Amino acid sequence: MQKILVSACLMGHAVRYDGQAKPLVHPAIERWRAEGRLVTICPEMSAGMPVPRPPAEIEGGAAGADVLAGRARVVEISGGDVTDGFRQAAENALSLATETGCRYALLIDGSPSCGSGFIYDGSFSGARHSGSGVTAALLTQAGIAVFSDREIDRLAELVDDQD
Secondary element (H or E) of residue 91: helix 83-100
Asked whether the beta carbons of 59 and 134 are under 8 A apart, the reply is: no
Nearest-angstrom CA–CA distance, 59 and 61: 6
Report pTM. Answer: 0.97
One digit per residue, the tens of pLDDT, for the chain of length 163 reads 889 999 999 999 999 999 999 999 999 999 999 999 999 999 999 999 999 999 999 999 999 999 999 999 999 999 999 999 999 999 999 999 999 999 999 999 999 999 999 999 999 999 999 999 999 999 999 999 999 999 999 999 999 887 6
